[in-house]
Structure 1
């Protein structure tokens, strides 16, 4: 099959059209990777090999398991991937699982054997893994890029932990970089989902030596803190240039207490001549929008009887909350002013959709308000969740439709000046107190704090 032939598919052609679970056609995954050839290989690990797939509208990465893992483990990995969507987590595209028959010899007899296969498809990231860049000689990465990478890994890991997922194999080789050096956490083969009642798991000692926490390495205990330890090992390698510590060093540190290095080594500093050391790196908060996802909002009567959680692919966070039925409606978002750009004016928007069938929302007037942490209301506005209709009063704020199909309704505005920066939090509330009217059909993605 020629290189030109392998470009005959678009991404949409890889899916089985009759299914809605992102299952993919194995023959087409084989075609776009040149039958999983050696020249298409772009990475490998303990569980599988990753291949580059060529499409007419771009590229994908296809992970092929070296040996088929048990069905539960494979389903667990797919479930982890479908639960999460974040700018710092590699984007899951689809999966493929099944078996193929072939002729084989068994005790001198020709038999028809069956071999299982399992494949997972991801976005393709051109810059490869972080590990590749840390091993570059002689200069390494600029400090500004290092900071961006560390920040991105932290945000991605925080998102996993918010969804009760322990990665269990955080290492430089599992951090992939896009064209803008944005880091994305990859490889969820060892990940585990914890229910709300659990905070740790006991399992075999999987993971990567040098990145594993002592309690994981020696006792097989994994918690969210185990991932944080691994994150620390990545930061250590980025900042000092030193490799991850060995099992012997980990064992020694566990007995004697860890050795704390207060300054990067001379060898590490020499890797980046002429640059400021990390402690002198000026960190500024830019004025990009800050989104408070629906999971972080305070929602009155947030119980399964009244609200339900939805996985929605066109939401930035992949998860939204839908109003089923309440009489008292209140949605509250809060953010510390120090997380916003100083001296910048902000608008606060509710990002949402209205379901096909709604009750008590169209044409009704709600109230939006803003207050500072622990203080009385500063501002109050009249708002309406429905796009402006004929006869609506001029003093009522109505939503506008965004390019992505979602609605946004401005709830408040403020200036993040010196006085505001001393406050613990700015709190914005959407509220309707008319308890005689039943309400349903509101789908909330989050609350966005956007600079003007």
Structure 2
């Protein structure tokens, strides 16, 4: 095996460095990093700007020009790539956070709470705006007291990487005095123009067979609080009205390394980037008043292994 590898490397040594770079550019960022350890020829080829230019989005210059952060400092396209992977930038007048997937170079976005459509968000009795150092954005929305919880976000699909399956997540946390959040909510992700755009595909994340031809959005049951006993932070007067969470099928949030929670709203396949993606979470029982939800935004990132 070692002899075979040596023979292959010997063949590559006769190729011009530009040719090797072109070959590496057809792989992935991870493969390019691995290639740099093979030999000095591969290292030189895999470090070239021509390789990492291919891994960057075609519109990366326009994207970073819209950053509200200080200008990025980079000497090579590889440095720029990993800077965009490790340090998300705020773009579009502070409305969006943008970064790249380190595995694939695909685009990732987080829509700030100010850009979401939240029912009664401008009514001080129901919602308030506050700042927190843990957030990427200058403000987050805090639920004060409401029965009608309806949060919606929209993203032009042409801003995303094409031919890519994306997952959409609500990014949030709950306060220690929260209640009314352990009931079943409904989540959905759909193309806004699915009827006029047959190429738009909605994926039911609960269906293992993945019926990718559905034109109607799939609505899933989700929980903002995962409590095995169904109590969460509910006041005692509410507990007798709740069934234990384990008795109801539904997705639950996951704790992230940055301290926020994320709740999967749904998945979709972005084919050619036509139309808008609409994401929604709702729990609108007028008998169930809710409190203590802090919304940072909705995140869209590629579904990768």
Provide TM-score, normalisation by structure 2: 0.56
The one-character-per-residue Cα deviations of 1:139-191 (angstroms, maximum 9, x if unpaired) are xx99959975553231327xxxxxxxxxxxxxxxx8462673569xxxxxxxx
1:384 to 223, 241, 244: 223
Stretches of structure 2 lacking an aligned partner (at least 5 in a row) = 1-48, 85-92, 94-103, 195-214, 230-243
Task: Tell me, yes or no, if the aligned pair for 1:370 and 1:377 is still in contact at 8 Å.
Answer: no
The reply to whether residue 333 of structure 1 matches residue 147 of structure 2 is no
Query: Structure 1's 177 and 364: CA in aligned 2 closer, same or farther, altered over 3 A?
Result: same
| Residue 154 (structure 1) aligns with | 66
The answer to whether structure 1 residue 177 and structure 2 residue 73 are counterparts is yes
Name which of 286, 297, 301 aligns with 1:435. 286
Secondary structure of the residue aligned to 1:370 is strand
Deviation at 1:315, TM superposition (A): 1.1
Q: Does 1:416 align with 2:270?
A: yes
Residues 92-148 of structure 1, C-alpha deviations (whole Å, 9 max, x = no match): xxxxxxxxxxxxxxxxxxxxxxxxxxxxxxxxxxxxxxxxxxxxxxxxx99959975
Q: 1:450 to 1:147 in 2, by over 3 A?
A: closer
1:448 counterpart = 2:267: no
Q: Is the 8 A contact 1:286 1:341 kept in 2?
A: no
Residues 341-360 of structure 1 mapped to structure 2, 5 A cutoff: 341-360=161-180
- The number of aligned residues is 192
The answer to whether the aligner puts 1:372 opposite 2:175 as a matched pair is no
> Could you say what the CA RMSD is over the residues aligned between the two structures, in angstroms?
3.0
Counterpart selection for 2:120 from 294, 301, 308: 301
Q: What secondary structure, in the 3-state scheme, does the structure 2 residue paired with 1:295 have? A: helix
Of structures 1 and 2, the one with the larger relative CO (CA 8 A, separation 6+) is 2
Larger Rg: 1
Matches within 5 A, 1:17-416: 148=60, 151-156=63-68, 175=71, 177=73, 180-181=79-80, 286-303=105-122, 304-361=124-181, 363-373=182-192, 377-390=216-229, 391=244, 392-393=246-247, 395-416=249-270
Structure 1 pair 305/345, CA: closer, same or farther in 2 (3 Å)?
Answer: same
